[in-house]
Amino acid sequence: MNKNLCCISFPGTDYQSIVLEKNQPLSENLTIQNSPVLFGCRTGICGTCLVLIKGEIPPANQDEKEVLEILAPGNQQARLACQIDLTNDVEIQTCEADK
């Protein structure tokens, strides 16, 4: 695959994988392209887009870390999809699917 493209897959669901250019905002693209991820505020404070990520992406900023400490304490795979800087292929699983 082109090194400027990233594949976002949703294992365990019927949703098709999505290919985006690196550094694209997931909140805009996943809503447009039909995904299992829901978005609310899109600013990283509501927690609606809490997901589990498999793949290498930049670490969460301090604001996101604070929200994650409340919503998913100790879970290193938990991230807010609206805050992810897409830099590599990732697998996304909603937290509801994990329960």
Q: Which residue has the higher pLDDT, 32 or 90?
A: 90
Instruction: Write out the residue range of the structural domain in which residue 76 sits.
Output: 5-98
User: How much is the mean pLDDT over the chain?
Assistant: 91
Collapsing DSSP to helix, strand or coil, 52 comes out as strand
**Whether the predicted pLDDT of 97 surpasses 80:** no
Give, for 78, the enclosing helix (H) or strand (E): strand 78-80
Give, for 66, the enclosing helix (H) or strand (E): helix 62-71
The domain tally of the chain equals: 1
Question: What is the CATH number for 44?
Answer: 3.10.20.30
Question: What percent of the chain has pLDDT above 90?
Answer: 74
Res. 54 pLDDT band, cuts 50 70 90? very high
**Whether the predicted pLDDT of 99 surpasses 60:** no
